Structure 1
Amino acid sequence: MSTAELDGITVAYDDLGTGLPVVLVHGHPFNRTMWRPQAERFSREGYRVITADLRGYGETTVVPGKTGLDVFAKDIARLADRLGLGRFVLGGLSMGGQIVMEFHRTYPERVAGLLLADTSPQEETEEGKRVRNAMADRVLAEGLNPYADEVLTKMVSPENVRTMPDVAAHVLGMMRTTPREGAAAALRGRAERPDYRESLTKVAVPSLIVVGTEDEYTPVSDAELMHELMPGSTLAVIEGAAHMPNLEREAEFNAVFARFLKEIG
């Protein structure tokens, strides 16, 4: 693990391999270890893979209050500057995918390729705003343990929880160890997320959209919408995975990601 002091916070990150830089952004309420299988494989195959804990998550500084997607995107830009990255492939899952969309909207010239996994481009609904802010209040009061237990079989399909106990334990462990103040701040920020559909129509770099067939949070229809909006994008639907196809179906996910990276160079 390495750390960087960026705008008053300490960011924990891993920087593995050499070659075309690939920055992978984790979702909520996880940390950079959700990308460990991809970081380990692709850093051996000629890519420089960077994974960082977002502010409020993992081993990065917790900032209470409200953290918008724009703040997360700026943190990624600052870390990229610190690491000497010009243009790079940028990927994210769930909230991480929305951070990627915000980054592309703000810094399109820095993006060499996009990976959007199990995510959605629409702005938050009024009901969604209420639910996210209520959940923020709840995790501040209770911590993440009750929430983690409730949502495990949505993050990882019930069948995969049964047959892949190591994956289930990894996902549950990430959720349970997320700082409550960081999770709540991100929930409040996501409640105010904008609509990214228009900016996706302007994507002019190779793009890969991935979704699990069993995903209840961001269903296949959301992925199909992004595919329609993004000229020349590739859509990969992963059978038997829920919200975490990179862990639930590691081989299948890595295969489509490898083909995508080879197309970029």
Structure 2
Amino acid sequence: MSSTAEVAAEESAPATGVWLHAVVRDVEPATLAGLAGMGGAPVRAVAGAGLVAVVSPAPLDEYGEEPLRHHLEDLAWLERAARAHHAVVDALARQGPVVPARLATVHTDDERVATSLAARRAELSATLIRLTGRGEWGVKGYLVPGAPVESTAAQDGGGVGTAYLRRRRAQLTARDERQQGASAAADAVHDALCEVAVAGRRHAPQDRRLSGASTPMALNGAYLVDVAALRRFTDLVDTLGDRHPGLRLELTGPWPAYSFVAERPAGAVGEPR
């Protein structure tokens, strides 16, 4: 029999939702053991429609729709949440194909999770088949500052002011030509990599404050690559780096296939607007 104090504590406790990390075909209990989800809580499996969702508890006073709307504007909170979410997805991806959930996909309870699995069964199953034996690789291309481009303008006479304007015009022309050259090189690199990859996507270049690079990013590509074609893909990245010296190419991965899964379905309580 519960005491009055215990009943009051239960009534005052915040409702707990379910943060969706990813969907897999199946998962061994040993894989989930020791994995920490949101807020360090243990993860668990929710089965439905022949699939398994890997989730962690999400108190709705922090992960509900209104709190999330504010949290997603807090870069420090967002980074912590993204790291916790990715750690689970990455661990699952090491065991086999995984469909990562978009960040901040929160359901009210396990029943809603199972319902979502049933509603999306065909799509999720097809995605898991498509991702089997494949990984996502990232290729970023950063502008390499080159030698100044000489101006082709006529070197007519003039005073100090004219000379300054001529130099300034030459600097702007050289900068524009470097940027145009980097853009064309990024297009060529992406097209070549897509010929080897199963699929490719270009994301918006990252700001230098996020990339940590000292020069602008001209290419931010993601590529779904067959394991059997990986050596050919990585060799091609090296070849393209030599072919386009105006870009410094950086290869990262493998990653869970965030770039090659469908957008989150409606019905989650924590969808950023």
- Give the TM-score category using the shorter length: under 0.3
For the pair shown, the structure with the greater C-alpha radius of gyration is: 2
Query: What TM-score, normalized by structure 2, do the two folds share?
Result: 0.23
More relative contact order in 1 or in 2 (CA 8 Å, sep 6+)? 2
